[in-house]
Structure 1
Amino acid sequence: MSIPPQSRVLITGAASGLGLALVHQLVDRGCRVLGTDVHTELPETLRGLAGVSYLTLDVTKDVDWSKAHDWVVEEWDGLDYLFNNAGVAAGGRIELSEMDQWQWIVDINLLGVARGCRTFTPMLKQQGSGHIVNTASAAGLIHPPRMSEYNAVKAGVVALSETLFHELKPYGVKVSVVCPTFFKTNLTESLRGKDEASQKMAAKLIDKAKVSADDIAAEVLTGVEKGRHIILTDRDGKVAYAAKRFVRPLYYRMMAQASAKMAKGD
């Protein structure tokens, strides 16, 4: 089922990366989009886009979510799609990850998604319709070494999404979770951590990725239109997840090889 024209869509992290790509492709479908991000002024990337409104929304702040809810009620009297997309990156060896770094990524990547779901679920249940799309990562399904905090929060988003998939189904509300691997984005700008070697490795994988944010956005929307719960957007993620589910010894060998390769650089 295609996303209908004039659908009411809210996207967090809409000023760049996957969020911006989703904005463009949803506008092309004739949707009305409320793009949100932490910027206090309308980002240059969203200027001049027909059908797009902008609202400052820091996903860690309850007051900002309340303002977004009020805006949706006043301007649209409802919501059809909620894309909880905003996120940051962190990683490295566990002994080098400080607790303030853990708190930072939990607040944004996990609790930011939880706040979005909690804010709009009553509205969607009352409507008896709507679709929540949470951006996690392949790291939420498979758990490579030296990515403890990122793996943990993304796995949390997958678990939250599965819980809500079952919880909201009786009310006619759909839930999907997006699980891409590395793709070209500005996520490297948010990278934090004291493990410089791991940071450089992650940045290299992102920068050398052959898949773009536009490619991922197209796969996301196809998955949404097909009603998929877990949306795997690229071949690498599909192969790794299949290995973990069906050929667990192969999956463990893959992880062991990756860990051994990283350890040689220590």
Structure 2
Amino acid sequence: MSRRVLITGGASGLGAALAAAFTRAGDRVLVTDRTDPADRPGAPPPGEAFLRLDVTSDADWADAHTWVEEHWGGLDVLVNNAGVAAGGRIDVLPMDDWRWITDINLFGVVRGCRTFTPMMKRQGSGHIVNTASMAGLTHPPASGSYNAVKAAVVALSETLRYELAPYGVTTSVVCPSFFRTDLAASLPGSDPLMEQVATRLISRSPLDADQIAAKVMAGVRTGRPVILTDGPGRRAYWAKRLLRPLYDRQMYRFGQRIRQGEARAEQDGADRRHGTDRPTDEQRERERKA
């Protein structure tokens, strides 16, 4: 049976991959985003409709509700996928960046759930899918803002799972680790050291958005409350739960590498001020592999 599906952040990345996957499954899909996917390379898959929606705008959410009511008369699957990236050390990332990522990654999900939960409760059915991150379950250093909002999305999703079950509404939270997407483009530039690390991890991942979307579709089909999409994420999750000393050692080691990178950056800055050239991180990496 064809489902009625609304996806936020559906113009690119995982959102676009999910939109294509739901469409291939024979579902009716409303892609929402701040930009029309038709303005990006490649036409949207057949059967998709588009509506402009900024997840920080209550008025845009009201428009989305009106569209769904008028065109479909209800909603079967809400995918709160829109999100941005922000990595930064606690003493470097400014408060404006904390407010920015919270308004999009957390309150954007809250707004979506608040908008469509009444409709799903009246129907007695529905499935809410919230995209969080492995950062919502495991919390590496120097990513406080991202970890915090994604952990909040995990907590919200678990809360709604119990709260809405009596109404026939189910909830899943998606927790991928790094995969190749354009998420790094949203990094605000406030902590260049950590953003270089994040960009490198994203670009070097062996996984792409279509592979993650396939795992999400399988999790939605079986109604899994927590959807772990990849091996590295599953290992990190279970290491934290069952092998806590190992997990702690890995996190402390990561923190030490960040400290070393910070020291190199400080030294490089001092050398530039004194006219002394030092190898770049890329040169050091090439030398390490040589």
Q: TM-score, normalised by structure 1?
A: 0.96
Q: Distance in 2 between matches of 1:100 and 1:257?
A: 29
Secondary structure of the corresponding residue to residue 261 of structure 2: coil
Alignment counterpart, residue 30 of structure 1, candidates 14, 26, 30: 26
Q: Which residue of 2 aligns with 1:137?
A: 133
Within a 5 Å distance, the mapping from 1:150-229 to structure 2 comes to: 150-229=146-225
Cα pair distance change 1:43/1:131, threshold 3 Å? farther
- Where does structure 1 lack aligned partners over 5 or more consecutive residues? none
1:74 to 57, 65, 70: 70
- 1:97 corresponds to 2:116: no
Counterparts of 1:239-250 in structure 2, within 5 Å, are 239-250=235-246
Q: Distance in 2 between matches of 1:152 and 1:15?
A: 25
The Cα shift of 1:46 comes to 6.9
Q: Distance in 2 between matches of 1:264 and 1:245?
A: 28
C-alpha RMSD over aligned residues:
1.2
Identity, in percent, stands at 57
Aligned equivalent of 2:53: 57
Q: 1:46 to 1:58 in 2, by over 3 A?
A: farther
Q: Does 1:115 find its partner at 2:111?
A: yes
For 1:43, the equivalent position in structure 2 comes to 39
Are residues 243 and 111 of structure 1, via their aligned partners in 2, closer, same or farther at CA, if it must alter by over 3 Å?
Answer: same
CA offsets, 1:77-97, max 9 Å, x none? 000000000000001111111
Given the two structures, how large is their TM-score scaled by the length of structure 2?
Answer: 0.88
Cα drift, residue 48 of structure 1: 5.1
Q: What stretches of structure 1 move > 4 A for 4+ residues in a row?
A: none
- Measure, in 2, the Cα distance between the counterparts of 1:233 and 1:257: 25
Match of 2:227 in 1: 231
Measured after TM superposition, the shift of residue 192 of structure 1 is: 1.6
Q: One-letter code of the match for 2:129?
A: V
Residue in structure 1 matched with residue 143 of structure 2 by the alignment: 147
Contact persistence 1:216–1:233 (CA under 8 A): yes
Q: In 1, Cα distance between the equivalents of 2:190 and 2:170? A: 39
Distance in 1 (alpha carbons) for counterparts of 2:131 and 2:102: 14
- 3-state SS of 1:91 partner: coil
Q: Tell which deviates more after alignment, 139-148 or 187-196.
A: 187-196
- 1:194 is displaced (CA, Å) by 2.1
Structure 2 residue ranges without an equivalent (≥5): 263-290
Q: Which has the larger radius of gyration?
A: 2
Equivalent residues, number: 262
Alignment partners' CA distance in 2, 1:244 and 1:31: 37
How far the C-alpha of 1:47 sits from its partner, in A, is 3.3
The CA distance in 1 between the partners of 2:42 and 2:111, in whole Å, is 24
Match of 1:12 in 2: 8
